[in-house]
Amino acid sequence: MARPMPDMERVEEHDAWFAPSPDLADWAMSTFIAETADLLNEDHEHLRHAHIGFLWTNVANAKKGRMVIGTAEPGSPQGAMGKWSRARAVLQVTYWFGDIPDFIITIDANWWLQASDAEACALVEHELYHCAQDVDAFGAPKFNKDTGRPTFAMRGHDVEEFVGVVRRYGADATHVRALVDAANAGPEIAAAAIGKACGVCLRTG
């Protein structure tokens, strides 16, 4: 399976490096999201209308004693910021992606270079599961009344892990055995081992 790779020279050249990857965004769409996707997962159908920006980084990251290899975040800068700090952050995101995407997924380039295809797929799908369509008080999907596009929000886990990730890659993919029903069906794609290495999960877990 051909998957995009970061530029090794850029990874090694800089101590702290972030770079947008349109190729990785296109690969994620054509592999998991689009109607004709090679490994189509209907759970991601709402993301066909989303703008997801992907970033490579060589900056090592860790939370709660675990290495972070990927994270999904809202595209718009979050948290308490002064006007200058927020304007600077918005300018940087716009420089990377042309506008403010709905989500930004950041991937550890060094980890990706040595990961198997199954591990890479499991990581990207895990981060895609964090990218959700918002719902109203009755659980119905929300849409923007002006544009008709889905309204997006960040999503937590189904239980301890996304049922969809366990169903597709098996309980060993994330060292979770609690989702027995999904795990007993066996992985749809392949076994993988990404562990608890998602920045979103380590912030909230």
Residue of 73, 65, 113 whose CA lies nearest to 96? 73
Going by C-beta distance under 8 Å and a sequence separation of 6 or more, which residues neighbour residue 35? 48
Q: Give the rounded distance of the alpha carbon of 134 from its chain centre.
A: 16
Domain layout of the chain by residue ranges:
8-204
pLDDT on residue 197: 53
Other CB atoms within 10 Å distance of the CB of residue 17 = 17
pLDDT value for 40: 94
Q: Determine the pLDDT at residue 160.
A: 55
Q: Whose structure tokens read 């990706």?
A: 112
Question: For the chain, how many residues are written?
Answer: 205
Q: What is the full per-residue pLDDT of the chain (205 aa) written as tens digits?
A: 589 999 888 888 888 999 999 999 999 999 999 999 989 999 999 999 999 999 999 999 988 788 899 999 999 998 888 999 999 999 999 999 999 999 999 999 999 999 999 899 999 999 999 999 999 888 899 998 888 888 999 988 655 567 787 778 876 665 666 556 665 777 776 666 555 555 555 555 5
Question: How much is the pLDDT for 6?
Answer: 94
pTM given for the model:
0.79
Model pLDDT, residue 180: 64
pLDDT score of 79: 84
Q: Residue 149 class from Cβ within 10 Å (0-12 exposed, 13-18 middle, 19+ buried)?
A: middle
How would DSSP label each residue in 30-91? IIIISTT-TT--GGGGGGGG--EEEEEE----EETTEE--EEEEESS--SS--HHHHHHHHH
DSSP 126-188: HHHHTEEE-B-TTSPBPB-TTT-PBPEEE---SSSS-HHHHHHH-GGGTT--S-HHHHHT--S
